[in-house]
Amino acid sequence: MKEAFRSIACLVPQVFRALFRGPQTVAFPFGRANIPEGYRGRLRIHADQCRGCGLCVRDCPASALELQREGRGRFRLLYYPHRCAYCGQCELSCTSEALYHDNSFVGGVASLDELVTVMVEREG
């Protein structure tokens, strides 16, 4: 008898608790979203530490980084957020600890050109 009652009233305690506890959802973007510090968001760089070695470009699985060398000591490092897989391999491969992910999101833009970021521009 108890089993029969339990079999149809199984959910009732949790349902009532849910009614009084209130919603457990986060009303992002109208409320705060708790994004932890270590979240791999947008890629950033400490530009002065970059030596232009190109290890990040070699190890990126998504071809999201591009190094344009223009002679001695002159180079430009480009980053394509729309190709990036946010895996953090470049951060691992970089020997000068220049690249890092912060926990911000990449927002929507109107045209693809606006997304391409020049990370470092060294004039030599």
Partner 1 sequence: MSKLVVPIGPQHPLLKEPLSFRLTVEGERVTESAMRLGYVHRGIERLCQTRTYVQNIHLLERVCGICSHVHTTTYCRAVEALAGLELPPRALHLRALLCELERIHSHMLWLGVLARNVGFDTIFMYAWRDREIVLDIMEDLSGGRVSHAVNVIGGVRIDLDDAHRDTILQQLDLLEDQVEWLLGVVEHERTLQARTRGIGVLTLADVRRYCVVGPVARASGLDIDLRRDDRQAPYDQMHYEVPVHDAGDVWARTLVRVKEAVESVHLCRQILDTLPAGAVSVRAPRRIPAGEAVTRSEAPRGEVIYYVRSNGSDHPARVKIRTPTLTSLITLPDQLRDVAMADVSVVLSGVDLCIACADR
Partner 2 sequence: MMALYRLLVFPGFGFLFVCAMLFDWIDRRVIARTQERVGPPWYQPLADFIKLLAKEDVRTEGVHEVAAAGLPIVSLASVLTAALYVPVGGVAAASYEGDLIVVLFLLSVPALAYFLAGWISPGVYSVIGGHRSLLQYFSYEVPFMMALASPAVLAGSWRIMSIVAYQGQATWLALIQPLGFLLAIVGLIGKLKRDPLDIPKAKSEVVGGPLTEYSGRKMAIWHLAMDMQTVVGIFLLVNLFLGESRFLEALPAFPVFGAKALAILLLLSMASALYARLRIDQLANLGWRVLAPLALLQVMATLWVGG
The residues binding partner 2 (CB under 8 A) are 8, 11-12, 15, 18-19, 21-25, 27
Strand ranges (E), the chain: 43-45, 65-69, 74-79, 99-101, 117-123
Taking CB under 8 A as the criterion, the residue among 85, 112, 116, 118 binding partner 1 is 85
Is residue 104 part of the contact set for partner 1 (CB under 8 A)? Answer: no
Is residue 8 part of the contact set for partner 1 (CB under 8 A)? Answer: yes
Number of residues lying near partner 1 (CB under 8 A)? 26
Is residue 89 part of the contact set for partner 1 (CB under 8 A)? Answer: yes
Tell me if residue 88 falls in helix, strand or coil.
Answer: coil
* Minimum CB distance to partner 2, residue 36 (Å): 22
* 91, 99 Cβ separation under 8 angstroms: yes
User: Given the DSSP bridges, would you call strands 43-45 and 99-101 parallel, antiparallel or unpaired?
Assistant: antiparallel
Query: Which tokens is 83 given?
Result: 């190709």
**Contacting range for partner 1; rule: CB under 8 A; set: 44-52, 71-79, 83-91, 111-119:** 83-91
Amino acid code (one letter) for 92: L
* Minimum CB distance to partner 1, residue 52 (Å): 20
